[in-house]
């Protein structure tokens, strides 16, 4: 959590300051240079993380990390110089070199860590040069000095190994978290599809029952209206007009009942290898003949060598007709731009062709976007709300998916994916 991370960082910074205050209060006390250097070390250590977070990508992180190690080596060397009684080599503050050594171990890999540790050790050993001019280095001093240098490398390698393991575990957990996120999203989609399928099945049974019960009386009414119209002929113009109204409305209701039955009837697919660009072009021509598209600019983009799909051409034509007609109606009399894009999509063993149908209309309000595929839900004055429900039913029967993305005021995009033909997907 961000709040917890900030709280932990503040606690660590306070603890770090407390340690440096303790160092400042320890001998030699009457050495103002020591306190000043410790202030610089404390300030740099606290600001280092903030600085690294703002470094841009590319070659800059390596330069910034190297600069951080160099600065710490320099500060540690200066501190050693001011805390040695005779020479910096005998300063009790030599462990300050662990700071650049561990910093290098956290920033770099094993080889660069060894290189930076060697440079830190060289900076410490540089104080031997003036010391050997006045004193002789005995066996015990050589052993002590060698022990300190070995511990520099030992700490560097232990910290580096822990950091590498931490990074590996962190990457593994991130990959696992990403997989879980994808699995969770897929599970949500599957749950939504299952709930929608249950609703469609229940409504389909209800629609089928009602449609069959309504169709028979409609047939009787239609037949009676025809007979009445024939019997009356020109003897009663008003009755003839009314019988004509009955006949017309019965035909409209019969069409509605037919749509109910199309929705309720199980899809009997006649699957064939289908060239989607040719099918989409045929649908566009059919829609343009049925409704005006003079003010609508149609832009199509088909991927080259697009693989065929296994589809029922008649039902898929119904799907694209519905979606293209809805897009044209959404843009209305002011017109706009209709974009149709066909692209292959391969995800693991799943090979599909994706059809994007996008308009520049007013878009779909966020509060109803999840409801537009529900049967009998419509925003049209004369609609019955079965168009998109039938589209979903047909695409689901093909083993595909229908998705919608929309931002109010910026149009809507319907994405239909259909499985590729098996011999094409194998390649």
- pLDDT by residue (tens digit) across 325-378? 888 888 877 888 899 999 998 877 788 999 999 988 888 877 777 777 766 667
Q: What distances in angstroms separate CA 60 from CA 55, 56, 173, 288, one per listed residue?
A: 7, 6, 27, 57
CA distance 307 to 295: 32
- pLDDT by residue (tens digit) across 48-87? 777 776 666 555 677 888 888 888 888 888 888 777 665 6
Q: Answer yes or no: is pLDDT of 232 > 90.
A: no
285 vs 87: which has the higher pLDDT? 285
- pLDDT by residue (tens digit) across 95-119? 888 888 988 998 888 999 999 999 9
- pLDDT by residue (tens digit) across 241-272? 777 777 777 777 776 676 666 665 656 778 88
81 vs 173: which has the higher pLDDT? 173
CA distance 88 to 82: 7
Instruction: Check residue 427 and give its pLDDT.
Output: 41
- Give the pLDDT band (50/70/90) at residue 2: very low
Burial status of residue 283 (CB atoms within 10 A of its CB: 0-12, 13-18, 19 or more): buried
Q: What is the mean pLDDT of residues 119-127?
A: 88
Q: What is the mean pLDDT of residues 260-287?
A: 80
CA distance 153 to 42: 24
Strand partners, 401: 417
Q: What is the mean pLDDT of residues 219-244?
A: 72
The overall average pLDDT reported for the chain is 79
Is the bond leading into 350 cis (omega within 30 degrees of zero)? Answer: no
Polymer length of the chain: 427
CA distance 401 to 349: 16
Give the whole-number percent of the chain exceeding pLDDT 70.
76
Query: Is the separation of the CB atoms in 325 and 288 below 8 Å?
Result: no
134 vs 305: which has the higher pLDDT? 305
CA distance 95 to 100: 10
Lowest mean pLDDT among 123-127, 208-212, 269-273, 293-297: 208-212
Q: Answer yes or no: is pLDDT of 6 > 50.
A: no
Q: Which CATH architecture is the domain 272-425 placed in?
A: 2-Layer Sandwich (3.30)
DSSP 296: E
Burial status of residue 269 (CB atoms within 10 A of its CB: 0-12, 13-18, 19 or more): middle
Query: Is the separation of the CB atoms in 421 and 398 below 8 Å?
Result: no
Give the whole-number percent of the chain exceeding pLDDT 90.
11
CB-side neighbour CA atoms (13 Å) of 118: 6
> Could you give the residue range(s) of every CATH 3.30.565.10 domain in the chain?
272-425
Q: What distances in angstroms separate CA 246 from CA 211, 239, 249, 309, 382, one per listed residue?
A: 19, 10, 5, 45, 19
Strand partners, 309: 274, 420
Structure tokens at 145: 């000095």
- Give the pLDDT band (50/70/90) at residue 29: low
Q: What pTM was computed for the model?
A: 0.49
DSSP 334: T
């Amino acid at each position: 959590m961000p709040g917890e991370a900030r709280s932990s960082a503040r606690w660590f910074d306070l603890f770090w300051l407390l340690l440096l205050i303790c160092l400042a209060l320890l001998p030699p006390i009457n050495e103002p240079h020591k306190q000043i250097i410790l202030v610089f070390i404390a300030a740099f250590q606290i600001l280092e993380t903030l600085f690294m977070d703002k470094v841009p990508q590319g070659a800059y992180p390596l330069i910034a990390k190297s600069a951080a190690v160099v600065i710490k080596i320099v500060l540690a060397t200066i501190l050693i110089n001011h805390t040695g009684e005779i020479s910096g080599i005998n300063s009790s503050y030599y462990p300050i070199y662990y700071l650049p050594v561990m910093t290098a171990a956290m920033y770099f890999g094993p080889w660069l860590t060894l290189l930076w540790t060697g440079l830190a050790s060289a900076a410490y050993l540089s104080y031997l040069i003036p010391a050997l001019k006045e004193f002789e280095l005995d066996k015990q001093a050589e052993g002590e000095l060698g022990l300190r240098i070995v511990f520099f490398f030992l700490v560097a390698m232990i910290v580096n190994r822990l950091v590498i393991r931490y990074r590996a575990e962190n990457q593994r957990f991130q990959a696992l978290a990403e997989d879980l996120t994808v699995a969770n999203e897929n599970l949500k989609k599957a749950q939504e599809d299952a709930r929608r399928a249950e609703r469609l099945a229940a409504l389909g049974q209800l629609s089928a029952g009602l449609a069959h019960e309504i169709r028979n009386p409609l047939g009787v009414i239609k037949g009676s209206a025809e007979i009445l119209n024939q019997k009356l002929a020109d003897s009663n113009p008003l009755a003839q007009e009314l019988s004509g109204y009955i006949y017309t409305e019965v035909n409209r209701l019969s069409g509605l009942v037919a749509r109910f039955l199309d929705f309720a009837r199980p899809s009997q697919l006649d699957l064939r290898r289908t060239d989607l660009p040719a099918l989409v072009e045929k649908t566009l021509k059919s829609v343009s003949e049925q409704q005006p598209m003079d003010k609508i600019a149609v832009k199509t983009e088909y991927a080259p060598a697009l693989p065929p799909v296994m589809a029922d051409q008649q039902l898929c034509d119904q799907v694209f007709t519905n979606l293209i007609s809805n897009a044209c109606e959404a843009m209305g009399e002011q017109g706009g731009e209709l974009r149709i894009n066909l692209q292959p999509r391969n995800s693991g063993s799943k090979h599909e062709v994706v059809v994007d149908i996008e308009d520049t209309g007013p878009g779909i309000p966020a509060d109803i976007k999840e409801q537009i595929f529900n049967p009998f839900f419509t925003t049209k004055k004369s609609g019955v709300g079965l168009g998109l429900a039938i589209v979903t039913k047909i695409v689901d029967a093909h083993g595909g998916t229908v998705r919608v993305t929309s931002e109010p005021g910026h149009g809507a995009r319907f994405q239909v994916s259909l499985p590729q033909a098996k011999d094409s997907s194998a390649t």
